[in-house]
């Protein structure tokens, strides 16, 4: 449910898909409530302590389609760190209407 919602599928469409695929009925309100459970997890991710030092940090923006009041493409700023052992980690991200914030 969360994956469908994050891809911009409406709560009504998600409920219909779940019922067709699994035979379980979820109302659009239930789908919305399940999706809202992710908010604390996302907030905790943004506030977490970084696990290690980074050898290099890359900053970039990518446009993705996001559903808010409307369904529009918005810039997602991404910070990716490379640790001394070569492991890559998404340090954080933020969403903005365009790349010129």
> For residue 69, what is the DSSP state?
S
| Tally of CA atoms within 13 A in the half-sphere of 93 that contains its CB | 16
Identify which of 49, 64, 59 has the alpha carbon closest to the alpha carbon of residue 96: 64
The phi, psi pair for 48, rounded to 5°, reads: -65, 155
Query: Mind listing the pLDDT tens digit for each residue in 69-95?
Result: 666 778 888 999 999 999 999 999 888
> What pLDDT was estimated at residue 86?
92
The order of strands in the sheet holding 71-82 is 56-67, 71-82, 88-96
pTM for the predicted model, two decimal places: 0.61
Digit-coded pLDDT (tens) for 17-70:
888 888 888 888 888 888 888 788 888 888 999 877 899 999 998 887 776 666
Which residues have CB under 8 Å from 59's CB, separation 6+?
77, 78, 79
CA distance 42 to 37: 10
In this structure, the number of other CB atoms found within 10 A of the CB of residue 40 comes to 9
């Amino acid at each position: 449910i969360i994956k469908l919602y994050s891809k911009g599928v409406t709560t009504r469409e998600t409920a219909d898909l779940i019922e067709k695929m699994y035979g379980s009925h979820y109302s659009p309100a239930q789908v919305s409530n399940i999706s809202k459970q992710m908010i604390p997890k996302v907030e905790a991710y943004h506030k977490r302590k970084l696990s290690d030092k980074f050898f290099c940090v890359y900053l970039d923006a990518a446009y993705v389609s996001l559903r808010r009041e409307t369904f529009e493409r918005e810039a997602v700023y991404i910070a990716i760190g490379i640790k001394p052992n070569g492991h890559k980690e998404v340090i954080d991200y933020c969403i903005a209407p365009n790349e010129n914030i």
